[in-house]
Amino acid sequence: MARKKVYDDDDGRTIADMSGTYQAQPFSFKRKQSENEKPEKSEKDSSEFSFSNDERKMYVLGALSSALLIALAFIVGLGLIVLLMLLIWT
């Protein structure tokens, strides 16, 4: 382990104790369950997604094609701006 850096002006006092500020799930809006309640499991739980290989390929190709379409729109727009600037200044 690395040694802790010692500064000349450090007198060892704690300015702000941050030990109790950690939360496991910040911004969790779920209702807290009592110890007696057990969560009901539905038939298809949201954490148990399973895609077939074909479905996975289609999702990946759909995401890539939409990203490429947006990138193409930006490239065409930038090209038109450059063309317009060249026409105005020459």
Q: What is the pLDDT of residue 3?
A: 75
Q: What is the pLDDT of residue 37?
A: 60
12 Rama sector, left if φ>0, alpha if ψ -120 to 50, beta otherwise: left
Mean pLDDT over residues 71-83, rounded? 98
Mean pLDDT over residues 59-85, rounded? 97
pLDDT digit string, tens, across residues 63-73:
999 999 999 99
Q: What is the pLDDT of residue 4?
A: 76
Give the contacts of 58 (CB within 8 A, at least 6 positions apart): none
Residue 51 has pLDDT above 60, yes or no: yes
Using only the alpha carbons of the chain, give its radius of gyration: 28
pLDDT digit string, tens, across residues 9-46:
888 788 887 777 666 555 555 555 555 666 565 555 55
